[in-house]
Amino acid sequence: MHIERLSTAVLELALLTYRPTSSMSDAASVTYVDNSPVIHAPPKGGAYKKRLRVVAELIPGTKAPLVIIGKGSAYGQAESYIRKLVDRTRLPFLPPPMGKGVVPDSHPQNVSSARSAALKMADVDLILVAGLNWILHFSPAPKWNSSAKFIKIDTSLEEWVVVSQLSAHLKDWKYDPSVSKYTFELDAAKQKNEWKLRLWREWACIY
């Protein structure tokens, strides 16, 4: 499912530029507008409520969820909203290289060190402004779960509005790791890969 944002239309009006002339009669005929109307900021966008309800019903029923935080999340300045979503729901998350820092790498729900296992096992992927390109293996099996459902939020600079809406729809729901072996297998993969990394660093220091 692809969540789109509501946007506004922009109408550009040509401006009359007055250029001084030597003729006083021409200058006198120009009417100046001193009190131009104030142009208010455009209304904030957001996702369609019907689609949000579908997503809000889909996520709580998943046994192996995964949030993928793309670089657009940083561009949209949605850090605080995404952190609240991750903290409140306890969903595991995976940041591609350009999405790092939106949620700290030290966060316990970060599964970067179990990236391959997370992509392969996740049955519902919440993709926050991340392109399914070569960095994420273009999303086909066997790199990804062939039966996974994708929820793609691609909202440019207004992503924080949609994330805030989604949090409101999920209310106080929290992911329960005991519903499957998903988090257990992710933790095992993290420990294995982190051990390999420590071993490689020790070997590199020796030689």
**Confidence class for position 140, pLDDT limits 50, 70, 90:** confident
pLDDT at 33: 53
Exposed, middle or buried by CB within 10 Å (0-12, 13-18, 19+), for 78?
A: buried
Domains and CATH numbers, the chain: 49-201 (3.40.50.1220)
**114-132 tens-digit pLDDT:** 999 999 999 999 999 888 8
pLDDT of 176 higher than 70: yes
pLDDT of 152 higher than 70: yes
Q: Which residues pair with 79 in a beta bridge?
A: none
Task: Determine the Cα–Cα distance for residues 125 and 150; give it in Å rounded to an integer.
Answer: 5
- CB distance 45 to 155 below 8 Å: yes
Task: Determine the Cα–Cα distance for residues 58 and 181; give it in Å rounded to an integer.
Answer: 19
Which residue's structure tokens are 């999405």? 99
pLDDT at 65: 95
**24-75 tens-digit pLDDT:** 555 555 555 556 667 777 666 666 788 888 888 899 999 999 999 988 888 8
**72-89 tens-digit pLDDT:** 888 878 888 899 999 999
Task: Determine the Cα–Cα distance for residues 103 and 100; give it in Å rounded to an integer.
Answer: 7
Q: Half-sphere exposure (CA, 13 Å, Cβ side) for 173?
A: 15
Phi, psi of 68, deg, nearest 5: -110, 120
Length of the chain: 207
Task: Determine the Cα–Cα distance for residues 170 and 164; give it in Å rounded to an integer.
Answer: 10
Exposed, middle or buried by CB within 10 Å (0-12, 13-18, 19+), for 142?
A: exposed
Task: Determine the Cα–Cα distance for residues 155 and 6; give it in Å rounded to an integer.
Answer: 9
pLDDT at 3: 56
- CB distance 34 to 92 below 8 Å: no
Q: Which residues pair with 110 in a beta bridge?
A: 93
Q: Which helix (H) or strand (E) holds 203?
A: helix 182-206
**Confidence class for position 22, pLDDT limits 50, 70, 90:** low
- CB distance 50 to 160 below 8 Å: no
